[in-house]
């Protein structure tokens, strides 16, 4: 939470951490957020961890069908006590790649857009990872990219089936051609490899389609990126830095003394030390 303060004017925003499971904070919205000093909702920032969002979704929704969450009949009254009972002008998802597969977290994130009517959605990620076209499609579904909306679910399923089919076919052809050992040997010895693969061709085709779909939605931050004042973003000093000075334990002191003594007793270390001292005397 400290880092975000770098970009907010002091006294003009209230921030509320949403953590833990629903059962441990069922009065969060009534007791904490409702007492905010900021009357305008756009000045109230809810910082929710992934598990908190997932817990809220599990409390009121049936998560069996991740694309169409159904509100549990007996939990209608509890919706206002979850994140899904409130409207937000924008939603930011940090580490959104954690929801790249169709899972409960994926369903929980996707429902934020529909239930909370968050029109402005931002997904942030900086972790390099091996992605499938369907992974990227899932992120687009969460964020509301048009080519990844509910009407295109069949496209995602088709890509999944096609990639699986092509991968199976490649493996079968490789086994039949008796080239498996040769290919493995070339990979092991870092030699060039040229193998015809229907799977890779299908993968490249689907990835190109995803890149086209996301073309106008991506902002990439690099080492040369700057903020609104044209100052470099990379290399910013920590917002808060706490230095902790503590004494060593007795066993730590003894361990350091033993290491120092061993180095001093080492002949090579002695010679290096003598040489260093001799050079110092000559140069002075």
pLDDT of 255 reads 84
Residues 82 and 148 in one domain: yes
Among 169, 196, 217, which residue terminates a domain? 217
Residue 236 domain flag: no
Q: Which two tokens stand for residue 272?
A: 């290096």
The mean pLDDT of 11-37, rounded to a whole number, is 88
Task: Please tell me which of 141-150, 168-177, 194-203, 235-244 the model is most confident about, judged by mean pLDDT.
Answer: 141-150
**CB atoms < 10 A from the CB of 107, how many?**
22
pLDDT band at 226 (very low <50, low <70, confident <90, very high): confident
* pLDDT tens readout for residues 196-222: 788 888 999 999 999 899 888 887 777
d(CA 117, CA 54): 18
Residues 60 and 160 in one domain: yes
Residue 230 domain flag: no
pLDDT at residue 273 tops 60: no
Q: Judge if pTM exceeds 0.85.
A: no
Residues 171 and 212 in one domain: yes
Q: Which two tokens stand for residue 268?
A: 């090579």
Residues 276 and 178 in one domain: no
Please state the domain count of the chain.
2
Residues 175 and 273 in one domain: no
**Dihedral of alpha carbons 8, 2, 91, 160, sign:** positive
Give percent of the chain above pLDDT 70.
80
* pLDDT tens readout for residues 36-54: 888 787 888 999 999 999 9
Residue 48 domain flag: yes
pLDDT of 282 reads 43
Residue 222 domain flag: no
Residues 164 and 62 in one domain: yes
Give percent of the chain above pLDDT 90.
26
Residues 185 and 59 in one domain: yes
Residues 187 and 271 in one domain: no
Of 51, 44, 45, 28, the C-alpha closest to 109 is 51
pLDDT at residue 242 tops 80: no
Of 156, 128, 160, 130, the C-alpha closest to 142 is 156
Instruction: Specify the DSSP class assigned to residue 29.
Output: I
Among 165, 192, 217, which residue terminates a domain? 217
pLDDT of 178 reads 66
pLDDT at residue 106 tops 90: yes
| 3-class secondary structure, 35 | helix
The packing angle between helices 50-60 and 104-115, to 10°, is 80
Helix extents (H) in 178-266: 180-188, 198-214, 250-265
Contact 96, 84 (CB under 8 A): no
3-state helix, strand, coil in the chain (%, to 5): 55, 10, 35
Among 217, 242, 260, which residue terminates a domain? 217
pLDDT at residue 128 tops 80: no
Residue 243 domain flag: no
- Residue 124: its H or E element: strand 120-124
d(CA 284, CA 282): 5
Q: Which residues share a beta bridge with 48? A: 18
Residues 277 and 180 in one domain: no
The packing angle between helices 153-177 and 180-188, to 10°, is 100
Tell me which residue range forms the domain holding 112: 3-217
pLDDT of 281 reads 47
**CB atoms < 10 A from the CB of 39, how many?**
7
d(CA 141, CA 12): 33
Residue 227 domain flag: no
Residues 265 and 169 in one domain: no
Residues 272 and 134 in one domain: no
The mean pLDDT of 76-88, rounded to a whole number, is 88
Residue 22 domain flag: yes
pLDDT of 283 reads 42
Q: What angle do CA 213, 215, 221 make, to 5 degrees?
A: 135
Residues 42 and 91 in one domain: yes
pLDDT at residue 257 tops 70: yes
Residue 64 domain flag: yes
């Amino acid at each position: 939470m400290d880092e975000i303060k770098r970009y907010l004017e002091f006294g003009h925003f209230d921030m509320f951490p949403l953590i833990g499971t629903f059962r441990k904070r069922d009065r969060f919205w009534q007791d904490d957020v409702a007492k905010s000093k900021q009357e305008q909702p756009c000045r109230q920032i809810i910082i929710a961890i992934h598990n908190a969002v997932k817990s809220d979704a599990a409390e009121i929704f049936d998560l069996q069908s991740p694309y169409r969450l159904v509100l549990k009949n007996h939990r209608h009254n509890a919706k206002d006590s979850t994140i899904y009972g409130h409207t937000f002008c924008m939603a930011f998802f940090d580490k959104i790649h954690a929801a790249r597969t169709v899972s409960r977290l994926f369903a929980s994130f996707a429902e934020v857009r529909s239930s909370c009517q968050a029109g402005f959605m931002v997904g942030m990620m900086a972790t390099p990872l091996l992605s499938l076209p369907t992974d990227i499609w899932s992120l687009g579904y969460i964020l509301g990219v048009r080519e990844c909306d509910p009407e295109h679910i069949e496209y995602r399923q088709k890509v999944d089936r096609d990639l699986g089919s092509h991968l199976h076919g490649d493996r079968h052809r490789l086994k039949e051609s008796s080239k498996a050992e040769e290919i493995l040997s070339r990979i092991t010895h870092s030699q060039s490899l040229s193998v015809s693969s229907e799977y890779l061709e299908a993968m490249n085709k689907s990835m190109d389609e995803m890149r086209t779909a996301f073309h106008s939605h991506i902002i990439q931050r690099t080492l040369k990126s700057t903020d609104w004042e044209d100052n470099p973003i990379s290399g910013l000093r920590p917002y808060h830095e706490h230095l902790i000075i503590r004494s060593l334990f007795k066993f730590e002191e003894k361990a350091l003394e033993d290491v120092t003594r061993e180095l001093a007793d080492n002949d090579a270390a002695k010679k290096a030390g003598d040489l260093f001292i001799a050079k110092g005397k000559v140069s002075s």
